[in-house]
Structure 1
C-alpha cells in the first residue's frame, strides 16, 4: 500500500521538472553574450510530460552503434525547441529580462511544490505519531 499516494509521485515529478527548467534558464542566462546562441525554450510542461511518459523531449536517437548516444549532459542532449529569430546583431536571441522573470516565477513554483511535499510528509509524520499512542 502506497501511504503517500499518487499525488506525492506527481509532486516529485513536478519538483524534478522545475529543477530542469531552472537549469535551462540558467544556461540561457549564462550564454546571453555568446554569439549565435539560441535560447532553449523547453518549458515545465515539456519536462513534466517527459517524466510522466518516459519519452525524452528532443532526444537524439542513434542509427548506428558508432554514433554518440544521447546523454543527460546539458551541452550534449536534446534539441532547442521553439527557436525564434535572433533579435541582436550577433545572432543571440536570449532576452535577459524574460529569462530572469521566468527564473523568478519558476523559483516561486519550486518553493510552492516543496511546501506541498513538506506538508504531505508532515501529515504522514503526525499520523505515525498519533498511531503510536
Structure 2
C-alpha cells in the first residue's frame, strides 16, 4: 500500500481493522484510479488527516480502537463523503450511523463502486471509474492478499 505524502491530494481513506480486507479494498480502489490509504484504527486515520484530507472515506463500523463514531463525526464535520462497510446491517448499527450510505460485507465490488461514485463530485472522480470497469465478481473478504504494509 502507498503511504501519504505531499504528492497525494485526492485520496480515499479506508478505515478497516481487518488487514486483508483493507489491502483488498485499497487494491480495488487503485484499480478504479483512486489513491487509497488504509488505517486500522481511528488514531491512524486521524494522523493521516492531519497531513491531508481525503476526498471520501470507506469506514468499517468497528476499528481496532473501538466503534468508529468519533471518526464519523469528524468526517461529517469536514463534509467528507462517507461510505460505511460493515458485516452488520444499518438496522443493527448505532443510530448515528443509520443515515449514512451503507454496504454490508461481503458486497459485490460493483455495488461498492456505485455507492462510492454516488457520493463523489464528478470533478474528483478518476476517469477509470466512469467507463469499462467490470465487476471482478469478488467479495470483499474472499481473496487472500500478499501482505505489504498497513497504515503509515
TM range (shorter): under 0.3
Is the helix fraction higher in 1 or 2?
1
The structure with the larger Rg is 1
- TM-score, normalised to structure 2, is 0.21
Is the strand fraction higher in 1 or 2?
2
- TM-score, normalised to structure 1, is 0.23
